[in-house]
A and B are shown apart, each in its own frame.
Chain A
């Protein structure tokens, strides 16, 4: 009896102490005001990012240059570790009312923050006469990615982007008398033909022809190449369609023929180690990760220290050209004063200026966000006549630039099922198909079960 009373008491306490919450309709939103002039007094802004020591040092250098231009703006830049940590912390901070001024993030992070109206639209800053930027100079698909949100506003600016490229063992290809075209992307169908020569046990063959590091990217990119539905901005999962089935069946056949592999084949997270060992002749991975695919002198593997080639990723013959665009953008949070917003915008403008983005790209291996950056002397020199230490970085940048018109992004949404959930499931589905723990039909069904409930 006593315990029962205690239970009742506790439950009532819950409702008393729990506090009351208002309705969503009560929350007021203010419009964004762009100040005409930068205030004279000291403005402190906080910038949250995820970079470790070496990249943080580069970023801080750029920030120091910015602070010299605007001596009354003081920037505190803090690394929050990883994207996951950054997002968790930001979500909690929004609820606690203790947020930074600007931060990096993926589109799906920003979609979540938008659930709380926690980031401001940047259109007025972009279009401002005094402080604006020429949006046409930014890579088109990057701009679209940042404008995809429900009301069509631009909630972030592109910052540190990357894409995928295909690295191949040129030595092995030459030994088999195959020269890959350098003026266009190769196709999966062509790869099937090459596989006939290159896959096997022989001295100039590999166990698998091509590895694809990110199974999620493969699923999504191939979906687009096959014109198969994937998701939309409302968060609908559209994979239950015949084109997806065709695409997955095709990839499954490539798996079976050992033309295509995932790092799962070697219980690894990335295929670079096995590419260097010679288990696979080609590998598709992030442009930011080229260094791991470069054989060093004394490389132990079937082909020793082989020659590299870097090309755009494979496309589908007769399909829609598509390659994944990745990397964070940067947004300004709403719990900020007008002065802080302007200061933050100026920092963003500086970091995304042609010179800064070109230099950042050359130093980090990410891609410039502006066409004029690509066209600049600095970057053209890097593309065409690089420092010998940066040969491969340069080749990567070339391969990336060649795909710039095919950059695609996947819709960002943050319902109970978020776009990153769908992306994770897509990767898992392909892995289970590869590992043969599920048939293609079962894999699709499992995805739907996990995402639609």
Chain B
């Protein structure tokens, strides 16, 4: 009896969100996924010439940039996320531990959020500039000759390195905000007890802070991985629509870029099915990794 009442109540609480989600998330999703199995879908006329199970997937996998997109996306995910989560964690803990100027720092760390994306792109183009960029200037101080990071003809590894720095930078503000709000919510009692016990700092961090923050850490890690698999706007921000340094265009293409490219061709027959198939492939890959993470987190996350 209690169960039924609970069920009804729960669905009642969920209903506002669910209503919107069904209309604006689930319905488009099903619609889109359905498209992946259509043959010769004409978006304009809303007509098809049959169905196909793997046809569109084959097209995506055989498209000229598929392999490069996979490689790039994986590199971005597995390099930028761990680094940026750790940096954000350390910065947040440091920020949380000081009293003076905390407000000032908090505001400064918030600024990337309100910085116009184009300004960010310009600033990083400057930082990585071959002749007068910040990085090359600093390299010069230690006697290394200037590197072509993002300029015309820059190599894949240089451009990717620059992109990773840009990506980590871009994700910091949000993560710091989330971690900070989580840290601020930790009951002071725990820290007071630790201080009375004269617990060393490192232990306070690993035995109190991290476990108590673990729900937020899990949230950040999972959502960051999911977000990194969808990397696209960062590449655009740094290189523009050419998705790579001049002369080496498309060298930093990502998975979502494939989806987006197909969507831009929605006036062409079959293009939307291709976009849907690519999105499904991305979804499956992300799903696998998320499941793995959730399994791991079951043991590590404490509420």
Q: Smallest CB–CB gap between B186 and chain A, Å? A: 33
Asked if B268 and A414 make an inter-chain contact with CB atoms under 8 angstroms apart, the answer reads yes
Asked if B267 and A435 make an inter-chain contact with CB atoms under 8 angstroms apart, the answer reads no
User: What's the Cα separation between A437 and B267 when bound, in Å?
Assistant: 33
Q: CB-CB < 8 A to B249: which residues of A?
A: 428, 431-432
With known contacts A17-B30, A116-B42, A428–B242 Cβ distance under 8 A: yes
User: What's the Cα separation between A115 and B246 when bound, in Å?
Assistant: 33
* Interface membership of B202, Cβ < 8 A: no
Segment of B46-54, B77-85, B176-184 engaged in the interface with chain A: B46-54
* Interface membership of B248, Cβ < 8 A: yes
Query: Quick one: closest B residue to A451, CB to CB?
Result: B64
Q: CB-CB < 8 A to A113: which residues of B?
A: 44, 267
* Interface membership of A193, Cβ < 8 A: no
Chain A 401-421 interface residues, beta-carbon cutoff 8 Å to B: 414-416, 418
With known contacts A428-B242, A453-B62, A118–B44 Cβ distance under 8 A: yes
User: What's the Cα separation between A438 and B63 when bound, in Å?
Assistant: 21
Q: Smallest CB–CB gap between A306 and chain B, Å? A: 27
Asked if B153 and A435 make an inter-chain contact with CB atoms under 8 angstroms apart, the answer reads yes
User: What's the Cα separation between A92 and B28 when bound, in Å?
Assistant: 14
Q: CB-CB < 8 A to A94: which residues of B?
A: 44
Q: Smallest CB–CB gap between B21 and chain A, Å? A: 14
Q: Mark A65-98, 1 if CB is under 8 A from B, else 0.
A: 0000000000000000000000110011011000
With known contacts A435-B246, A453-B64, A115–B267 Cβ distance under 8 A: yes
Q: Smallest CB–CB gap between B20 and chain A, Å? A: 17
* Interface membership of A13, Cβ < 8 A: yes
Query: Quick one: closest A residue to B40, CB to CB?
Result: A24
Asked if B246 and A26 make an inter-chain contact with CB atoms under 8 angstroms apart, the answer reads no
* Interface membership of A117, Cβ < 8 A: yes
Chain A 34-50 interface residues, beta-carbon cutoff 8 Å to B: none
Q: Smallest CB–CB gap between A109 and chain B, Å? A: 8
Asked if B152 and A19 make an inter-chain contact with CB atoms under 8 angstroms apart, the answer reads no
* Interface membership of B41, Cβ < 8 A: yes
Q: Mark A424-445, 1 if CB is under 8 A from B, else 0.
A: 0000100110111110000000
Asked if B49 and A432 make an inter-chain contact with CB atoms under 8 angstroms apart, the answer reads no
Q: Which of A22, A95, A415 contacts B268 (CB 8 A)?
A: A415
| A to B contact number (C-beta, < 8 Å) | 110
* Interface membership of B271, Cβ < 8 A: yes
Query: Quick one: closest B residue to A437, CB to CB?
Result: B247
Asked if A112 and B47 make an inter-chain contact with CB atoms under 8 angstroms apart, the answer reads no
Query: Quick one: closest B residue to A84, CB to CB?
Result: B264
Asked if B47 and A27 make an inter-chain contact with CB atoms under 8 angstroms apart, the answer reads yes
Q: CB-CB < 8 A to A415: which residues of B?
A: 268-269
* Interface membership of A32, Cβ < 8 A: no
Segment of B31-39, B101-109, B231-239 engaged in the interface with chain A: B31-39
Give the contact-size bracket for chain B: 35 or more
Q: Which of A14, A112, A115, A453 contacts B34 (CB 8 A)?
A: A14
Q: Smallest CB–CB gap between B114 and chain A, Å? A: 24
User: What's the Cα separation between A294 and B42 when bound, in Å?
Assistant: 47
* Interface membership of A15, Cβ < 8 A: yes
User: What's the Cα separation between A27 and B62 when bound, in Å?
Assistant: 32
Asked if B31 and A23 make an inter-chain contact with CB atoms under 8 angstroms apart, the answer reads no
Q: CB-CB < 8 A to A14: which residues of B?
A: 30, 33-34
User: What's the Cα separation between A415 and B249 when bound, in Å?
Assistant: 23
* Interface membership of A62, Cβ < 8 A: no
User: What's the Cα separation between A15 and B48 when bound, in Å?
Assistant: 14
With known contacts A416-B270, A435-B152, A21–B247 Cβ distance under 8 A: no
User: What's the Cα separation between A27 and B46 when bound, in Å?
Assistant: 9
* Interface membership of A201, Cβ < 8 A: no
* Interface membership of B27, Cβ < 8 A: yes
Q: Which of A15, A17, A115, A435 contacts B42 (CB 8 A)?
A: A115
Asked if B265 and A24 make an inter-chain contact with CB atoms under 8 angstroms apart, the answer reads no
With known contacts A18-B34, A416-B268, A435-B246, A115–B44 Cβ distance under 8 A: yes
Q: Smallest CB–CB gap between A262 and chain B, Å? A: 10
Q: Mark B53-67, 1 if CB is under 8 A from A, else 0.
A: 000000000111100
* Interface membership of B171, Cβ < 8 A: no
Q: CB-CB < 8 A to A117: which residues of B?
A: 44-45
Q: Smallest CB–CB gap between A248 and chain B, Å? A: 15
Chain B 246-285 interface residues, beta-carbon cutoff 8 Å to A: 246-249, 264-271, 274
Q: Which of B31, B62, B151 contacts A267 (CB 8 A)?
A: B151
User: What's the Cα separation between A432 and B268 when bound, in Å?
Assistant: 28
* Interface membership of B110, Cβ < 8 A: no
* Interface membership of B174, Cβ < 8 A: no
* Interface membership of A450, Cβ < 8 A: yes
User: What's the Cα separation between A414 and B42 when bound, in Å?
Assistant: 12
With known contacts A113-B267, A267-B151, A416-B268, A21–B48 Cβ distance under 8 A: yes
Q: CB-CB < 8 A to A431: which residues of B?
A: 246-247, 249
Chain A 283-327 interface residues, beta-carbon cutoff 8 Å to B: none
* Interface membership of B43, Cβ < 8 A: yes
Q: Smallest CB–CB gap between A45 and chain B, Å? A: 21
Q: Smallest CB–CB gap between A63 and chain B, Å? A: 28
Known: A116-B267, A435-B247. 6 other contacts (CB 8 A): A21-B41, A24-B42, A91-B43, A115-B44, A115-B269, A453-B63
A-B pairs, top 4 by smallest CB distance, nearest first, are: A116-B44, A18-B34, A112-B267, A435-B247
- Measuring CB to CB, which residues of chain B are less than 8 angstroms from any residue of chain A? 27, 30-31, 33-35, 38, 40-49, 62-65, 151-153, 242, 246-249, 264-271, 274
30 A-B residue pairings within 8 Å (CB atoms): A18-B30, A18-B31, A21-B46, A21-B47, A22-B47, A22-B48, A23-B47, A24-B40, A24-B42, A91-B266, A112-B44, A112-B268, A115-B42, A115-B268, A116-B42, A116-B44, A267-B246, A414-B268, A416-B268, A416-B269, A418-B265, A431-B247, A432-B248, A434-B247, A435-B247, A436-B247, A437-B247, A437-B248, A438-B247, A453-B64
